[in-house]
């Protein structure tokens, strides 16, 4: 008889635990915050105000946006000897990006890597950029890498989708800055997660 009562009590306790878990789960997830998609980030970037430094020279027929992509990846850094330091100290130096590119349909459509280079899936869709002198940059968030306006790399004609592009904008950046703590040896490397939106723009002829 005791065993029967014990089993019933155990069953009641188990049922109560399950029921409490159910209600807790409901209260925890009644109003979930959905993760944003690449398309969401691209859409949000359309509401951003461009800084004055990104103003393009007047063109009678204006400019046309060729493509907009969302990048998710890392900014790579390596250690180098800090000039003039005695005894030797080290500092981070930028190596290049490594990121996947997504379009407004959330499809992964290419990669972004050192150069800087943007390459879409399939042959013949490549573009390389280079900084203006002086560089056209804008700091929106001290914790994130700068926004950039880039020129097309001299001697490297854009191909495929990018044909005719004259300017590359990097905006809506998050993360990617070099670690605040300096490296402790010359062999140190760092890969810092980042995201950005890239716009590719051409002059209308």
How would you classify the pairing of strands 90-102 and 108-113?
antiparallel
Query: Is 72 strand, coil or helix?
Result: strand
Under the banding of pLDDT at 50, 70 and 90, the label for residue 87 is confident
Domain enclosing residue 194, as ranges: 38-203
pLDDT per residue as tens digits for the range 31-79: 444 589 999 999 999 999 999 999 999 999 999 999 999 999 999 999 9
| 193 has pLDDT over 60 | yes
pLDDT per residue as tens digits for the range 122-133: 888 999 999 999
pTM of the model: 0.82
Half-sphere exposure of residue 177, counting CA atoms within 13 Å on the CB side? 16
Q: Which two tokens stand for residue 25?
A: 């789960």
Average pLDDT of the chain is 87
90 in Cβ contact with 99 (< 8 Å): no
| 3 has pLDDT over 80 | no
* Residues 23 and 95 placed together within one structural domain of the fold: no
* Residues 197 and 142 placed together within one structural domain of the fold: yes
* Residues 19 and 77 placed together within one structural domain of the fold: no
* Residues 109 and 173 placed together within one structural domain of the fold: yes
What's the number of domains the chain is made of? 2
């Amino acid at each position: 008889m005791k065993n029967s009562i014990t089993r019933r009590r155990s069953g009641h306790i188990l049922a109560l635990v399950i029921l409490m878990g159910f209600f807790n789960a409901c209260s925890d997830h009644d109003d979930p915050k959905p993760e944003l998609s690449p398309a969401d980030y691209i859409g949000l970037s359309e509401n951003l105000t461009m800084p004055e430094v990104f103003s393009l020279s007047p063109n009678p027929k204006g400019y046309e946006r060729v493509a907009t992509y969302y990048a998710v990846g890392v900014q790579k850094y390596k250690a180098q000897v800090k000039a003039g330091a005695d005894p030797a100290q080290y500092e981070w130096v930028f190596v290049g990006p490594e990121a996947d590119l997504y379009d407004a349909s959330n499809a992964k459509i290419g990669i972004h890597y050192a150069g800087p280079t943007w390459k879409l899936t399939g042959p013949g869709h490549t573009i390389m950029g280079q900084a203006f002198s002086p560089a056209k940059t804008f700091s929106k968030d001290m914790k994130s890498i700068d926004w950039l306006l880039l020129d097309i790399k001299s001697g490297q004609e854009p191909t495929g989708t990018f044909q005719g592009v004259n300017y590359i904008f990097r905006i809506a950046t998050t993360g990617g800055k070099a670690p605040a703590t300096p490296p402790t040896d010359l062999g140190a490397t760092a890969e810092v997660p980042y995201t950005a939106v890239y716009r590719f723009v051409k002059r209308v002829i």
